[in-house]
Chains A and B, each alone.
Chain A
């Protein structure tokens, strides 16, 4: 059974510092990995999707890498801002279009 882990569960950084969020998964037979952002009381916003054949994906200040063989993905957020404060979730997609989620990392960016 696929298990997805995100460590740390919470992270606090000063504004301007780069954020590094980790995601690990136990079964490397995935088709893609998706990173989401969730604000308190809100739904999930898709940030980046990396196909299994890709090594990284970039969107603005966000960069996500994928090492399928070692079961790891990292989300980098450059020059963090208070508006980046949220919970970040990673999810892997395997057979049947089903997503398996990690528990999330709650990020606080202090002004």
Chain B
């Protein structure tokens, strides 16, 4: 069955380190998204991509970057981790075109000490 996976599921890192969170989907979806979920703020969009080589900033993109070299993967990089980036991160994907249902991965819980 098609699915969307994230790794690692849990990560503890130190302030200032670079961290990369992986997202892999086998739906063959062109659209991919990264969200973070925090108490009191709900889910907020970090970055998104509509296809290979396409990336766009979301609502809370500062300190994060993404790259899209193939259809299946959209890794999220924290260039210099900060304690404010402690959160649960979700990757999602949807079919080509606009306004289609988004499917979510299981999430990565990141703690920055």
A97 touches B43 (CB 8 A): no
Q: Which of A20-28, A62-70, A71-79, A98-106 lies at the binding interface? A: A98-106
Task: Give the residue of B48, B58, B98, B105 whose beta carbon is less than 8 angstroms from that of A43.
Answer: B105
B102 touches A46 (CB 8 A): yes
Asked, given contacts A31-B99, A32-B99, whether A99 binds B45 with beta carbons under 8 Å apart, the answer is yes
* Residue B106 CB within 8 A of the other chain: yes
Task: Give the residue of B35, B56, B103 whose beta carbon is less than 8 angstroms from that of A46.
Answer: B103
Total A-B pairs in contact (CB under 8 Å)?
A: 53
State how many residues of chain A have any CB contact under 8 Å with chain B. Answer: 22
Counting contact residues on chain B (CB < 8 A from A), the size range is 20 to 34
Q: Tell me the smallest distance from the CB of A43 to a CB of chain B, in Å.
A: 4
B104 touches A93 (CB 8 A): no
A99 touches B99 (CB 8 A): no
Residues in A lying within 8 Å of B, measured CB to CB: 31-32, 34, 36, 42-46, 49, 51, 89, 91, 93, 96-99, 101-104
Known pairs A43-B105, A101-B44; list 17 more (Cβ under 8 Å).
Answer: A31-B98, A43-B106, A43-B107, A46-B101, A46-B102, A89-B43, A96-B56, A97-B98, A97-B99, A97-B100, A98-B33, A98-B58, A99-B33, A99-B102, A101-B42, A103-B42, A104-B42
Residues in B lying within 8 Å of A, measured CB to CB: 31, 33, 35, 42-45, 48, 50, 56, 58, 90, 92, 94, 98-107
